[in-house]
Amino acid sequence: MLYLDYAATTPPYPEVVEAVREVMVRFYGNPSSIHRIGMEAERLVIQSRETIAGILRVKPAELIFTSCGTESNNLAVKGAALAARNRGNHMITTPIEHASVSESVRQLESLGFRITVVPVDESGAVRLDKLEEALDAETVLVSVMHVNNEMGRIQPIADVARLLKAYPAALLHVDGVQSVGKLPFSPAELGIDLLSASAHKFRGPKGAGFLYCREGVRLEPLLAGGGQEGGSRSGTENVPLIVGMAKALRMATDRLDDAIERKRLFRAVLAEGIASIPELRLTGPTDGEGMAPHIVHLTFPGMKSEVVVHALERHGYFISTKSACSSGEEKPSGTLLAMGFDKPRAVSGLRISYPEDYTEDDARRFVTALRDVVAELRPMIRKSKQAGGSPR
């Protein structure tokens, strides 16, 4: 068995599991309590905040602990927009954002905010020329993800930040869920004002995340309550998961350079193997230029992606798809459509994502299984073409 869905979630490091367990047992106090047991819990939260801040090269006070990436994105997008509504009501985003961003933007549009969705090119990169055209004096927020969660394109965040320098009222929010702990960068050095992250994407526990909020940026809180997290996010801090998140990020970044190189080697074997199967099309360049090292995306035109996912599962390989099928109706990927893919490709996307400890031999074995699955499904494609439909 080989789990190849690390972009969806990752197994926590054993050391993280043990750290979470120990904190749950020994340090169960409420960090807002003023007695010793509460102060012990608070100390762990402070230490975790300092650890993450040190890794990202930001100030500890600029970190807001949340429950997940979705909450971080909601707090960033809605909190920043609502706090700035007296200065302007224009927001800019892209058509390839995670639903927690795109749906937050949609909700703000219903409240009267003006929304511009700038296009991406055929590689999935945001069109900087169109972004520059869209910026105006009323723009208060631009939200562009760092690494696309579906096909792995790295966005030119530093270039986006440079464009925003001419518009000091416009904040830059970046969904970093697929890049924190996987790529070396500092949000402050890239010019990011708000950065979202989620622990379970870098082998931490589910239920923990954080939002980097640059000093001086004001957010409208989404949760009313006791005023924890500097008043930005009320609710008792989840001390065990916060500790686990900090430990996981430390472990991931301690081995980051080696991990990236190993993932690139794995990616190269996958890309070469996929290119050798005529029915498949690799998304992005074979050499991985501009693509994240931990995600490979491909399409299988003429075959619905979930059919391939389940066929590979029978061979012991677990990958994912971002296309969906509801009530027998094909639903193409919005990301792939935005990149200019036609419907047969947009309904056939497959995502492979992996850790650094998988070997090139693992990649070769997966390619062999993928080649076998394509051979198994080839007759279905021929029958479907004759019938004028799509295999289910």
In whole angstroms, give the CA distance from residue 380 to residue 343.
Answer: 18
Phi and psi (nearest 5°) for 267? -60, -40
Q: By C-alpha distance, which of 101, 92, 99 is closest to 120?
A: 92
Q: Which residues does 279 contact at the CB level (< 8 Å), separation at least 6? A: 300, 301, 302, 303, 374, 378, 381
Q: Which of 188, 222, 268, 325 is catalytic?
A: 325
Check: CB of residue 126 under 8 Å from CB of residue 120: yes
Annotation marks residue 213 as catalytic: no
Please name the residue that has the structure tokens 């007759």.
379
Comparing C-alpha atoms, which of 120, 119, 116 is closest to residue 134?
116
C-alpha to C-alpha distances, 318 to 8, 88, 105, nearest whole angstrom: 11, 46, 32
Cross-strand pairs, 3? 318
- Catalytic center residues: 325
